[in-house]
Amino acid sequence: MSLGTKRLGKELAKISKSLPPGITLVKADDLQEWLLDIQVLDQNPIYAGETYRLKFRFGKQYPIEPPEVVFTKQENRPIPMHPHIYSNGIICLDLLGSSGWSPVQNVESVCMSIQSMLTGNTKNHRPEGDADFVSTNKARPKDIEFYYHDNEV
Amino acid sequence: MARDTVKAGVLKADGNKRFQNGDFVGAESLYSKAIIADDTNPSLYTNRAMARLKLSLWDSVIADCQSCLKLNGESMKAHYYLAQAYLELRAFDDAVTHASRAREICALTNDKSLAQVTTLVLRCKRDRWEDAEKKRKRAHKELEEDVLRTMRREKADSLAALDDSTATDGDRRQVAEEWDAKMEQLGRVFEAARSDEDKRREVPEWAIDDITFAFMVDPVITVSGQSYERASIMEHLRRQPTDPLTREPLRPSDLRPNLALRKACEEFLDQNGWAVDW
C-alpha cells in the first residue's frame, strides 16, 4: 500500500460528504484521478455563469509530492481566462510546483486556492507566450519551471 | 565455530538472487548453507528469516531472529521479522514489543523503513485490541446466556411450586408473565451496552497525523508547534527541508518528540484499537 492510499481514501470520504460552495466532486472512481468542478461565486464578470473542470492526478508519493492539477476542456467546461492559466489548461501556481507544495495541503485546499486565484483576477488574458508554450511544452505540469515573478495577479 | 566468510558471502549472494526471483525455498536452503559456512554473521540469520516468513514457517523465523539478536541485539530486521511471526502466531504482546523496538531502532538510525515499520506497530496494536475485544464480547454474550438460563430455570421452578398449591390458572399466568418481562428487560440492558460501544467510535483530531491522516505512534513537534508522525515529517524533510505549515527552514534536528501527545495516543489506542483503520 503506498503512502497516499489511506490518505486519499479519507480525503474522498470527507469531500464526498461536504465541500465549500462552488466546488463539486464530479468523479473519483479510483485513487489515481479525480475530477472536480469549480465556479467563481462573486460577480467577477470574467467568470460569471461559467463552470470549470479540474483534473487531479495523484502519484505514488502523494501527499509528499504534489498532485498534478490541470483544467480540462470539454463542452460547457472552458479553460478559464487568467494570466497564470495557459489555454491547454496548465496552471502556473506555486502551490502546485515541487518547491511550493506542502504535504498539509489537500484536494479541498487546492480547489479553494484555485477558486480564489480566479476570484481575485481582473485581467482577461492568457499568460505571455501562451501560443508558444502550448505548442512546444511536453513536460509534466509540476516539472515546468514557471517564473513566479508576477505576484500582483 | 565455523567462519568461512568468503564462502558464506557467495552463498548469501546466490540466495539473494533466488529470493528476488521469488524462489523462497531455494533462497532458504542457500542461506542455510551460508550459515553452516559462517555462523557468526547476524545478517545471514535475518536473510533466512525473511525467506522463512515468505514460506510461512513462523517458528523457524522466530528461531532465526533470536539467533541474530544473540549476535546483534540492535538488529532492526530481526525485531521486524519477529513481530510479523508473532503476529501470525497471535502472540500479540510479543508482536507489539518487537515491532515497537524495530521502530525505535529505525528512528535512531534514520532508517528509510521507518514508515513501513510504524505501520506494522499500528497493525500489531489493532490486532491485539481486536483479539481482546472478541474475547470480551464472547464473555459478555456468555454472561447474558448464563443469566437467561438461570432465569428460565427459576421461572420453571416457580411454576412447578404453584402446581402443588391451590393456585389458579390466573396466578400461574401472572408468574409466567413476570418472568418473561424480566428476561426481556435483561435482553434490552445487554443490547443497550452493545450499541453504546459502536456509538463511541470517533477518532480525536489531535491523534491524527496531518500528512498521512494516520493515527500517530511517535509524534514529533516542529518549531511552529505542530506535531506530525516522525516517519511522515522525515519523509517530507528528505524532499524539502521546510516546515509544512510556515515554509520556514526546518531540519530533522529541529524536531522534538512530543512525549505527552505520544502517551495520550498510546492510551487512546489501547482502548480503541479500531482507530487504526479509521
Judge: A103–B115 Cβ closer than 8 Å, yes or no. Answer: no
- Residue A153, C-alpha cell as written in the block: 495577479
Instruction: For the sheet with A68-71, list strands across it.
Output: A23-27, A33-38, A52-57, A68-71
> CA-to-CA distance for B111 and B207, rounded, in angstroms?
24
| A64 CB within 8 Å of a chain B CB | yes
Residue of chain B whose alpha carbon sits nearest to that of A1: B116
Size of interface A-B (CB pairs under 8 A): 35
Return left, alpha or beta for B213; rule: phi > 0 is left, psi -120 to 50 is alpha, else beta: left
Digitized pLDDT (tens) for each residue of chain B, 278 residues in all:
678 999 999 999 999 999 999 999 999 999 999 999 999 999 999 999 999 999 999 999 999 999 999 999 999 999 999 999 999 999 999 999 999 999 999 999 999 999 999 999 999 999 999 999 899 889 989 999 999 999 999 999 988 888 777 778 888 899 999 999 999 999 999 888 887 666 667 889 999 999 999 999 999 999 999 999 999 999 999 999 999 999 999 999 999 999 999 999 999 999 899 898 87
For residue A35, CA distances in Å to A65, A113, A152, B242 come to 19, 16, 29, 30
Mutate to test the interface with A, among B212, B245, B276 (most CBs of A within 10 A): B212
Residue of chain B whose alpha carbon sits nearest to that of A101: B244
B96 and B121 Cβ atoms separated by less than 8 Å? yes
| Nearest in space to B123 (alpha carbons), one of B96, B161, B90 | B96
The whole-model pTM stands at 0.78
CB atoms near residue B126 (< 10 Å): 19
Active site residues of A: 92
Q: What is the pLDDT of residue A145?
A: 64
Find all residues with CB under 8 Å of B47, minimum gap 6, and list them. Answer: B12, B15, B16, B19, B27, B31, B34
CA B48 to chain centre: 24
Contacts of A103 in chain B (CB under 8 A): 210-211, 232, 236, 244
Read off the pLDDT of residues A20-66 as tens digits, 9 standing for 90 and up. 999 999 999 999 999 999 999 988 899 999 999 999 999 989 999 99
> CA-to-CA distance for B230 and B238, rounded, in angstroms?
12
B237 and B243 Cβ atoms separated by less than 8 Å? no
Q: What is the pLDDT of residue B201?
A: 78
User: Distance (Å) from the C-alpha of residue A30 to the closest C-alpha of chain B?
Assistant: 18
Query: Kindly report the CA angle at B118 between B116 and B119, in degrees rounded to 5?
Result: 65
B50 and B77 Cβ atoms separated by less than 8 Å? yes
The ipTM assigned to this model is 0.79
User: Using CB atoms, which residue from B115, B210, B240 is nearest to A104?
Assistant: B210
**Is pLDDT above 60 for A1?**
no
The domain limits of chain A are: 5-124+133-143
Q: Could you tell me the CATH superfamily of domain A5-124+133-143?
A: Ubiquitin Conjugating Enzyme (3.10.110.10)
Chain B: residues touching A (Cβ < 8 Å): 115, 210-214, 232, 235-236, 239-240, 242, 244-245, 247
User: Distance (Å) from the C-alpha of residue A88 to the closest C-alpha of chain B?
Assistant: 29
